[in-house]
Amino acid sequence: MAEKICVAVRVRPSISEESPSGTFWKIEDNRISLHKLHGTPISGLSYAFDHVFDESCSNSKVYELLTKDVIHAAVDGFNGTAFAYGQTSSGKTFTMNGSLNDPGIIHRAVNDVFQKIQMISDREFLIRVSYMEIYNEEINDLFAVENQKLPIHESLERGIFVAGLREEIVNNAEQVIKLLESGEVNRHFGETNMNARSSRSHTIFRMVIESKGIDTGSGDYSSSDAIRVSVLNLVDLAGSERIAKTGAGGVRLKEGKYINKSLMVLGNVINKLSNGAKQRAHIPYRDSKLTRILQTALGGNAKTSIICTVAPEEVHIEETKGTLQFASRAKRITNCAQVNEILTDAALLKRQQLEIEDLRRKLQGSRSEVLEQEILKLRNDMLKYELEREKLEMELEEERRSHKEREQRIRDQQLKIENLSSLVSDGDRSSSQDSMKESPKDECNDFKTPCFKETSNNAFVAKRSNYSELPDFSPLPDSFSNVADEDTWFKMNKGYIADLDSLQTTPARKVQSFPPQDITPDCSNDNYKLELQNLKTQLELVIKEKDELQRKLEEEVQINRRLMGEISELKQELDLSNNSLESSAQRYGNLEREFQKLKDERDSLLQTVSESSKNITFLTDQKENILKDLNCEVQRRKDLEAEIKQFSVAFASRQRSLASIHGEFKSKIEKLRAENLVRY
């Protein structure tokens, strides 16, 4: 369900004894407005919020009205965030941390979380806490000083989180308070003209609350199987500063620049979120680590409350205006909070339960089950390696087949190139013959078919019939093997016997071997020139085709080389797989031997444990007897002491009686002596 962010404004007590001379801030119910000295409100400077707390308000009231509902919702499974925003020295740290007499929101929230958990009897809880600071745009762990400059990551399971941040599992509020006190020691503070103990970094105290319904014992699925995981962020922001007022310089100036930059990005994010979903453009969460960590709290699945602290002094009016405008924009943001329930093993509570059960099983059954699982895992790995090896062999065989096909295509291309080369050579010979035709007188005597082989003795010339017409084309010796037309043969060669195999390569082109008798020499020369041009054109085309085929051949050769390299790499991978398979087999054998050793060791340990149990039983009985004797001796000692006391009392009384008797006896003796003296 969509709900607005809860925003409140808190005015700290004035630290200046001077009375306002021009304007002052007036609080009326949940509204704060700027008034002139005589009481007239200034137009456009009145702001209404969910709560407005005056100078006399305590941290207890702020927590009860603003933050308590967010804390209780976090225990119920909702994400929650509460943070303080304002200028430096406006009371943010006091609101969040408080004092001994008036604890702040963080301390009250911690106590309230554990008190509410005590009241819930049908769920079990696990709480983890972490404490970080953002100092000069670097995230430091306040629980572990060595964890500095931590990165921010994001995952589907955990969302946005800080990697390497130390988390402590806590059981009570006192433990959390001690951790907070130790973290505060590591926080960066500094002195400025406006604050003797100014926060120089943003701090985020995070509580991760996991809970699970107590199992009723039924085996069926129930709501107790769902684990609720909520995140509670309690943020104390550093205050915005004006250098003219703080007098910062050196390190303090650098810190102030980083603080103002991150707060400016936070303001931009709030401004974009307040525009609404339709008018909302890109939201620059990643421009600052503060907004990146608080991304879910600012515009997502969380219940959020913001306390904006302001200073009432007239000298800080501009800073107060900026804080109130920030609060007004934040009031328009809408979040959709929902209970975070998961059914996976991602929650630490469920993981620890599983680990405890696993440890119990290990303690009960020693390490045999663990080793069996390891052996099963190794067997699965061996099967996987075997399947990968078979797959690689199939790929290698496929590559070999494709390599053979490429080699066959390369050979075909080479044959084509050789044929085209022969055609080019024939074209050259034809051009030389055409040049001979320019002298028609010597045409019949000089033009002869070249012979590249020795003269064949069994070659013969067939006599043409008287009824056959003159040929329009060069003779096609394919149909006659080594037989040619008689008249054409004698006209061409004057009886010269040539190798007819060379004639088989002549293409069938529609060109007259010799001009008819009625054609004039001039016309013949023109026809020969035209034929020569055609042959040259065809020769150029053939040469181009040859070059193209040569280029394709080179590409095929390069592809072949690359494939050979890939095949060698696949062979290496196959060898590595075989080596890993062998090592896995050796490891499997070693584990089996170790399993047997551990089994023997377990038997010996069980025997030793049984003997130890007997010894412990004997010693226990002996101890009980000794304790009985000791108790008897103690009782006797007490009785003797009592008797000694009685004897002492009796002895003292007897001593007193003897002393009195001795005195009486002495007095009687003296009396008798006196009587005897009188007689004599």
What is the Cα–Cα distance from 71 to 490, expressed in whole angstroms? 119
Q: What is the DSSP letter of 102?
A: S
What is the Cα–Cα distance from 285 to 262, expressed in whole angstroms? 11
Q: Is 88 annotated as a binding residue?
A: yes
Rg (CA), the chain: 54
Give mean pLDDT, residues 450-454: 43
Q: What pLDDT sits at residue 147?
A: 87
For tokens 């001039």, name the residue. Answer: 522
442 — pLDDT class (breaks 50, 70, 90): very low
- Would you say 378 and 591 are in contact if contact means Cβ atoms under 8 Å apart? yes
Three-state DSSP at 676 gives helix
Domain ranges of the chain: 3-215+223-343
**Tell me: the pLDDT tens digits for 29-50?**
889 998 887 777 888 888 999 9
Contacts by 392-396 with C-beta closer than 8 Å and gap 24+?
A: 392/570, 392/573, 392/574, 392/577, 393/574, 395/570, 396/567, 396/570, 396/571, 396/574
Nearest to 180 by CA among 270, 286, 252, 109: 109
Q: Who has greater pLDDT, 385 or 638?
A: 638
Cβ-based burial of 396 (10 A; exposed 0-12, middle 13-18, buried ≥19): middle
Q: What pLDDT sits at residue 80?
A: 92
Of 71-75, 413-417, 607-611, 632-636, the poorest mean pLDDT is in 413-417
What is the Cα–Cα distance from 271 to 325, expressed in whole angstroms? 10
Cβ-based burial of 59 (10 A; exposed 0-12, middle 13-18, buried ≥19): buried
Q: With residue 41 as reference, give the H or E element that holds it.
A: strand 41-48
How far is CA 480 from each of CA 280, 423, 448, 484, 504, rounded to the nearest angstrom? 91, 22, 20, 7, 10
206 — pLDDT class (breaks 50, 70, 90): very high
Q: What pLDDT sits at residue 280?
A: 67
Give mean pLDDT, residues 191-219: 78
Most confident of 6-15, 583-592, 595-604: 6-15
How far is CA 381 from each of CA 289, 385, 561, 572, rounded to the nearest angstrom? 43, 6, 34, 20
506 — pLDDT class (breaks 50, 70, 90): very low
- Would you say 554 and 365 are in contact if contact means Cβ atoms under 8 Å apart? no
Give yes or no for residue 547 having a pLDDT over 60.
yes
Q: Who has greater pLDDT, 173 or 596?
A: 173
Average pLDDT, the chain: 77
Say what percent of the chain tops pLDDT 70: 73
Q: What pLDDT sits at residue 444?
A: 40
Give mean pLDDT, residues 447-468: 45
Q: What pLDDT sits at residue 219?
A: 46
What is the Cα–Cα distance from 203 to 235, expressed in whole angstroms? 6
Give mean pLDDT, residues 236-248: 76
Q: What pLDDT sits at residue 279?
A: 64
**Tell me: the pLDDT tens digits for 139-171?**
999 998 888 889 998 887 778 889 888 889 898
Give yes or no for residue 110 having a pLDDT over 90.
yes
Q: What pLDDT sits at residue 117?
A: 93
- Would you say 255 and 247 are in contact if contact means Cβ atoms under 8 Å apart? no
What is the Cα–Cα distance from 523 to 563, expressed in whole angstroms? 59
Q: What pLDDT sits at residue 653?
A: 86
Q: Is 322 annotated as a binding residue?
A: no
Q: Is 104 annotated as a binding residue?
A: no
Q: What pLDDT sits at residue 228?
A: 87
Amino acid at 680: Y
243 — pLDDT class (breaks 50, 70, 90): confident
Give mean pLDDT, residues 485-496: 55
Nearest to 337 by CA among 7, 22, 80: 80
468 — pLDDT class (breaks 50, 70, 90): very low
Nearest to 62 by CA among 31, 46, 84: 84
How far is CA 378 from each of CA 366, 375, 389, 585, 624, rounded to the nearest angstrom? 20, 5, 16, 8, 53
Q: Which residues pair with 119 in a beta bridge?
A: none
421 — pLDDT class (breaks 50, 70, 90): low
Q: What is the DSSP letter of 285?
A: G
What is the Cα–Cα distance from 401 to 249, expressed in whole angstroms? 77
Give mean pLDDT, residues 412-440: 62
Give yes or no for residue 415 having a pLDDT over 90.
no
For tokens 């020693």, name the residue. Answer: 366
**Tell me: the pLDDT tens digits for 56-92?**
899 999 999 999 999 999 999 999 999 899 888 888 8
Q: What pLDDT sits at residue 351?
A: 61
Q: Which residues pair with 132 in a beta bridge?
A: 141, 204
Of 21-35, 366-380, 413-427, the poorest mean pLDDT is in 366-380
- At 17, list the tokens: 């004894």
**Predicted TM-score (pTM) above 0.85:** no
Give yes or no for residue 537 having a pLDDT over 50.
yes
Give yes or no for residue 359 having a pLDDT over 70.
no
Q: Is 538 annotated as a binding residue?
A: no
371 — pLDDT class (breaks 50, 70, 90): low
> Phi and psi dihedrals of 563, rounded to 5?
-65, -35
Q: What pLDDT sits at residue 17?
A: 65
673 — pLDDT class (breaks 50, 70, 90): confident
Q: What pLDDT sits at residue 277?
A: 63
Give yes or no for residue 326 having a pLDDT over 80.
yes
Amino acid at 437: K
Most confident of 68-82, 286-300, 493-507, 663-677: 68-82
Classify 3-215+223-343 by CATH class: alpha beta
What is the Cα–Cα distance from 585 to 385, expressed in whole angstroms? 11
Q: With residue 400 as reference, give the H or E element that holds it.
A: helix 368-436
Report the DSSP pairing between strands 31-36 and 23-28: antiparallel
Q: Is 91 annotated as a binding residue?
A: yes
Q: Who has greater pLDDT, 572 or 94?
A: 94
Q: What pLDDT sits at residue 180?
A: 92
Q: Is 164 annotated as a binding residue?
A: no
549 — pLDDT class (breaks 50, 70, 90): confident
Q: What pLDDT sits at residue 446?
A: 42
Q: What pLDDT sits at residue 495?
A: 53
Q: What pLDDT sits at residue 463?
A: 46
